[in-house]
Structure 1
Amino acid sequence: MACAVLLIVGSAFALRVQAQPAKSVVTTERARAELLAYAPEGVEPGKTVWVGLQLAHQPDWHTYWKNSGDSGLPTQLKWTLPPGVEAGEIAWPIPKKYPIGHLANYGYSGTVLLPVPLTVTPQFKPSLLGGDLQVKLKAQWLICRQECVPEEGEFALKISARSATALHADVFNASFQAQPRPLAGAGTVRIDGDTLKVSVPGLPAEAKGKVLGFFPETNEVIQTAAAVTQSWDGKVWNAVVPLSPQRSQSPAIMPLVLTLGDQGWRTEAQVVGQWPQVAAPAGVSPALEEALRRNSLSQPASAVSLTFAAALLGALLGGLILNLMPCVFPVLAIKVMGFARHADDRRGHRVSGLAFSAGVIVSFVLLGAILVALRAAGQQLGWGFQLQSPLVVATLAALFTVIGLNLAGVFEFGAFLPNRLATLESKHPVANSFLSGVLAVAIASPCTAPFMGASLGLAVTLPAPQALLVFAALGFGMALPYLAAGWIPGVARLLPRPGPWMVTLRQFMAFPMFATVTWLLWVLGQQSGIDGAASLLVLLVAMSMLIWSLTLVGRLRGFVGGISFVVLALLMWHAGHNITAVDVARPATAASEGSWQAWEPGRVEKILATGRPVFVDFTAAWCVTCQYNKKTTLANPAVMADLSAKSVALVRADWTRRDPAVTAALGQLGRNGVPVYVLYQNGRSPVVLSEILSVDEVRAAIASL
């Protein structure tokens, strides 16, 4: 049975990995950053190749221009390119002005592309096999609203050297249009006491007589927030601009950008006159320094205080406790039956325990490697990420339906599998035990036991070898009871002896399998809606009929089996797309239940600004622990009364489907999976509660407010 299971589980994970290709994207709670390329004439010496970082900001957030204004920092791009390829400077689009009290900044909101030209020289020699230009970028940007958060990302991109690349032509062309156009005539800047008198000729006719935006590329020269007095003298634009009392620059040439709506013009103005004495050199502006300080204080201590040794111990204990999670019970019960089958064979016990443990540990390491690799490629993923895919949920539901039918005695694999495959279990018991361990991990992976959350949260931030050791420790903890059962005689003697009872137990175990299928159907309903769940149920019925038909004999098997196959194929063609469809109504309503509000980026901060504390429940439909806590502790009348008495706002972050913003919020808390329960209060670090909540723990946390 486990051999057949391997094929289905392997398909599920393969499909999941294919569905999450490595992309040059980094998503945070505040922005989505993506590395794009544009090579309309291919990658050849003398041809222009453009790459650029596209920043899509969340509402009310902005990043900065090359001159950030009174505070802020411009976005920094550091390129790693093959020999023969050189990166130019950022072709900055025209900025906007953001007044902040008595200050003002220059930058971008919405979606902006920062394009960079690449110079391809004759020394560039693409590989004969790959034929790609490999581009790597490390970007750092400061993103601000009322508070400022420094962010960064590492990106990788392959540009075909054998053909044109123009998928993002519209994005690049729009950015080129948003860049300031050079003016034919040079402007002048005359120093007059504590002001600058600016004159710019050569502006186009559409700008004449209009009020223009004024953006100097040299920072720390003018009072950014001060009003600019403007006038026209024929075709010459004139302005009087106050100097900054903290001026630290004395340029001989001042590049200036003038704007009118979404149009802009650039000139390099000659400075005339003697600069006044400069102020003392400035470091980071006081406003920015305070914002960064507040941001650093907001990080929970758990995110930085956990050591690698503690993470290993937490993973070991978490894996051990994982055996008690209800989602693991059906598979482990089958394993106990396997141990009972070898009750009188001590060597068989030991070999089976070792093989099962190896399957568990290898599977955890493999799952961890996939998670670490996808995160390194820019994917915002966390523990249990595979069940965020409706396709994987549906595949597991089909798998457990097959296992349930087999346990119930509807069919035996030998009835329709080739004899070579059907006898694998008896011929290769070690492989069967190993694959049982793989199956146990496939089912256990959505669960988060105590001690696991902080360990996995740290693991994804560690170098790959250390991260994989944490996942291996998690697997070893889960496998430990089975190693003990195989190698400690006292434990082995506690196991039941084989007998007729095993047939009854096997049939009984079909019902936990069908219960697991019911749970998976409910999970799919949360992801794809009622149509998705109903479509999967119909397909499972049709699949069961096909399996049953293959147990028939003679001509009836071919006739009924053929009809069953056609019915299943038609249903998959007609209704299969419902399984992976996105339920657009779900995100808006799933978390808004009763007094609970749906989580979204910035909502917690907005509520805290009113003076109310906030309790956030990071949850997912496929997380059994989450649902247990939700129906018990979080529904307890005493807990709800305490929350109401303290006027605590209740917010629920639904992670059932992949949500990079929720993943980023979990990462800030030092966590990588659900459940996570956090209590926020102004002036205090976030309080992260246990994965398995108790009424006393929650009430004690509320009482401390």
Structure 2
Amino acid sequence: MRASTINCCRWLIVLLAAMAAQVAMAQLPPPQPAKGNNIASELVAEGGAQAGEMLTVALHFRPEPGWHGYWSNPGDAGYGMELDWNLPEGWEAGEPDYPVPETLVISNLMNHVYEGDYAVLVPISVPADAQLSGPVPIELKADWLACTDQICVPESATMSLRLPVGADVPRDPRFDQWRAALPPMLDSEAAFELTGDALRIAIPLPASLDLAEPHVFVGETQLVDYAAPQIFMRDGDLLVAEIPREGLADGAGRIPGILKLDNLGGGLRFSAMPGEVPAGGTPVGGTAQALAPIWLLLGGAFIGGLILNLMPCVFPILSLKALTLARAGESAEGARREGLAYTAGVVLACLALGGLLLALRAAGSEIGWAFQLQEPGVVVALLVLAVLITANFAGLYELPSFSFTREGGRASAFSTGLLAAFVATPCTGPFMAAALGAALLLPWWQALILFAAMGLGLALPFLLLGFVPPLRRLLPKPGRWMEWFRKIMAVPMGLTALALLWLCWRLGGWQFAALAGVLALVLTGALAWGLREGNRGRPGRFVLPSIAGLALAISVVLLPMVHAPPGNSEQSLLSPRNFSDAVLADARAEKRPVFLWFTADWCLTCKVNENVAIERETTRKAFERAGVIAIRGDWTRRDPEITRFLTAQGAAGVPLYLWYPAGGEGEVLPQVLTPDMLAELAAAE
């Protein structure tokens, strides 16, 4: 039994390692550009040029050690980059998008700099009547300033590029990492006012976000004292920044800028217009940081983890494991040991998944919570695991880790905790939304505390059973009915396996799903045969690893060959437009109400809300009468643009629902929609 338990633990560890490897493979560094100046440069296109479409190019810079480049507003010294484009007739280059800069103070002068590898992205519009019969040459002359803490050298480079044409041109994968470094634009407008000695900016930001060391980079030059301390106050969902003035500019129009959230490169872009800025508030940042928000987030994560026990993929595991404590002769000490071991497994799995998420985001991956379900290989592994557990519950074979008829022990409880957390954490509840969203912006150690709190909530029921004898006495006495109960619990686990099989189809097409299903059945049959032969004293246990290894090798070769993800989302009564920042901006410019929702095929809450409130004839008719524009963001597969938008809204995952009144700012709706909520919003327009 001990060997089987250890094997279960190994399976879970392999799943986590495979998930990390699969996501990390996309992050391998590309070949470095050739060095020229003290800051090497290259011009890179994301893909092929298409008539009437927007093309993105990158100015990729790599400073030599000790050298740095500058943001568009360089601060007290230096100057911003100047670009002179030579493009075909009718083509136009847009404004450059910069990553979040760093602050560098030299002799009391504040500089806004980049000391490492960075890229500036520039959109280029291609006219609809462009004749694209072959590669299109473009040229750029760029001037910038390269500095150390001792000297500065003006540098320039003329870069040319022959743009390939067509939609089938392979996309440069580096753009995902470069875009991840760009701060997303806040959906709501900021306000500013100028006093005699300060610039005051009110930036919309959820009160649940606990800022460690914020800093505002003001886009307009000669307006503020860059090196002066900045004061930050909280007023509900507004962050008020007060920055001493320099007095050389009046800032009468729009003021763009970047709010840096932490020292890990996270930030948000904003655009501020003249308006009312509230006075007073609660100090934030540094030692004045308020502790109340983090405790509120901890409570949300804890309650959300507790609710996860009701998910159909978790409840059977929890209920059957709880019945192990109903075994005749179970001692109080043994019950406590199993409760602690189960809790340790759950919390460790939550910390591992949360830590992996934070590490991958820090490395440039644009991912969110439940990112593992956007990887086809991980979904296949979960499908195999769900089929194996279903067969175990159905009585095809017996695994000690999930048995209530044999002695399980601490190792069994620990492995079951790992499993329960791993299959439960892709789900999020209404209490977890703010906590998980904040975890992506908090310092890493606070984020890990939130993940641990979620794990503790998930483990609480079994932990209480282990430490509270009256609760154990409420459990039914052991008997033959327990075998029937276990078989009944195979039904929700089987439904979970079918849902994962459906998700395989959504991620990779019907051939991919069919091969994944065959793989799961073959491995289940091999395990059942191997355990039966091993119980008879035959060498089946030696054949089992061979069959599993062969099946794994076949899946590594064949699954990628048949992988062909569907191109479109599911049909909808609302005929939604597919989300992009440009689509949302165009819809809002029409001065009509907009309903924007983000969903995923693997999100249970999303599907429930769609059946209850969105995909309803009453909702469709109400939207038609009010002229509501529906926009859907499908996050089933990884989408960096959707991830950036979710992060800007303080959301770690889906579902997310926003309502934009005609000509108004967006309002975040609850994660649980009532049947008539959307129809009532439309009727109020």
Structure 2 length normalisation: TM-score?
Answer: 0.64
Flag the 1:63–1:395 CA change in 2: closer, same or farther, 3 A.
closer
Contact map agreement 1:619 1:675 (CA 8 A) in 2: yes
Q: Which residue of 1 aligns with 2:7?
A: 4
Q: How does 1:470-489 map to 2 (within 5 A)?
A: 470-489=450-469
Aligned-residue offset at 1:316: 1.6
Aligned-residue offset at 1:465: 0.8
Contact map agreement 1:96 1:107 (CA 8 A) in 2: no
Mapped partners of 2:469, 2:540: distance in 1:
53
Q: Which residue of 1 aligns with 2:441?
A: 461
Q: Which residue identity is paired with 2:366?
A: Q
Mapped partners of 1:98, 1:611: distance in 2:
34
Contact map agreement 2:300 2:432 (CA 8 A) in 1: yes
Contact map agreement 1:321 1:449 (CA 8 A) in 2: yes
Flag the 1:86–1:64 CA change in 2: closer, same or farther, 3 A.
closer
Q: Which residue of 1 aligns with 2:332?
A: 346
Contact map agreement 1:322 1:447 (CA 8 A) in 2: yes
Aligned-residue offset at 1:283: 6.4
Mapped partners of 2:93, 2:39: distance in 1:
28
Q: Deviations over 1:614-645 (max 9, x none)?
A: 21221111111212222222233333333333
Q: Does 1:324 align with 2:302?
A: no
Q: Which residue of 1 aligns with 2:380?
A: 394
Aligned-residue offset at 1:698: 3.6
Mapped partners of 2:378, 2:422: distance in 1:
10
Contact map agreement 1:391 1:580 (CA 8 A) in 2: no
Largest Rg, 1 or 2: 1
Flag the 1:54–1:469 CA change in 2: closer, same or farther, 3 A.
farther
1:335 to 314, 321, 325: 321
Flag the 1:581–1:9 CA change in 2: closer, same or farther, 3 A.
farther
Gaps of 5+ in 2: 71-79, 100-113, 126-136, 144-221, 223-246, 258-268, 276-283, 285-289
2:595 to 603, 608, 615: 615
Identical counterparts, % of pairs: 31
Q: Does 1:384 align with 2:370?
A: yes
2:612 to 624, 628, 632: 632
Aligned-residue offset at 1:47: 11
Q: How does 1:43-192 map to 2 (within 5 A)?
A: 50=40, 60=54, 85-86=66-67, 94-95=84-85, 137=116, 178-179=140-141
Q: Which residue of 2 aligns with 1:528?
A: 508
Q: Which residue of 1 aligns with 2:243?
A: none
Aligned-residue offset at 1:55: 8.0
Q: Does 1:370 align with 2:365?
A: no
Q: How does 1:235-246 map to 2 (within 5 A)?
A: none
Mapped partners of 2:335, 2:388: distance in 1:
27
Mapped partners of 2:642, 2:329: distance in 1:
48
Q: Does 1:404 align with 2:384?
A: no
Q: Which residue identity is paired with 1:687?
A: E
Q: How many residues align?
A: 517
Flag the 1:684–1:478 CA change in 2: closer, same or farther, 3 A.
farther
Q: Which residue identity is paired with 1:406?
A: N
Q: Which residue of 1 aligns with 2:499?
A: 519
Contact map agreement 2:316 2:493 (CA 8 A) in 1: yes
Aligned-residue offset at 1:295: 8.8
1:307 to 290, 293, 296: 293
- Deviates most, 436-445 or 316-325: 316-325
Contact map agreement 2:69 2:115 (CA 8 A) in 1: no
- SS for the counterpart of 2:367 is coil
- SS for the counterpart of 2:314 is helix
Flag the 1:532–1:395 CA change in 2: closer, same or farther, 3 A.
same
Q: Which residue of 1 aligns with 2:19?
A: 16
- Deviates most, 452-461 or 604-613: 604-613
Aligned-residue offset at 1:142: 8.9
Flag the 1:99–1:668 CA change in 2: closer, same or farther, 3 A.
farther
Q: Which residue of 2 aligns with 1:647?
A: 627
Contact map agreement 2:523 2:547 (CA 8 A) in 1: no
Q: Which residue identity is paired with 2:625?
A: A
- SS for the counterpart of 2:581 is coil
Flag the 1:566–1:432 CA change in 2: closer, same or farther, 3 A.
closer
- SS for the counterpart of 1:653 is strand
- SS for the counterpart of 2:595 is strand
Structure 1 length normalisation: TM-score?
Answer: 0.62
Q: Does 1:286 align with 2:289?
A: no
Flag the 1:347–1:136 CA change in 2: closer, same or farther, 3 A.
farther
Aligned-residue offset at 1:378: 0.8
Mapped partners of 2:563, 2:655: distance in 1:
23
Q: Which residue of 2 aligns with 1:38?
A: 33
Q: Deviations over 1:245-304 (max 9, x none)?
A: xxx9xxxxxxxxxxxxxxxxxxxxxxxxxxxxxxx965668366599536999xxxxxx9
Flag the 1:394–1:350 CA change in 2: closer, same or farther, 3 A.
same
Flag the 1:141–1:348 CA change in 2: closer, same or farther, 3 A.
same
Contact map agreement 2:367 2:638 (CA 8 A) in 1: yes
Gaps of 5+ in 1: 26-33, 41-45, 66-74, 114-134, 147-173, 182-247, 249-279, 298-303, 415-420
Contact map agreement 1:327 1:444 (CA 8 A) in 2: yes
Q: Which residue identity is paired with 1:4?
A: N
Mapped partners of 2:548, 2:117: distance in 1:
52
Contact map agreement 2:45 2:58 (CA 8 A) in 1: no
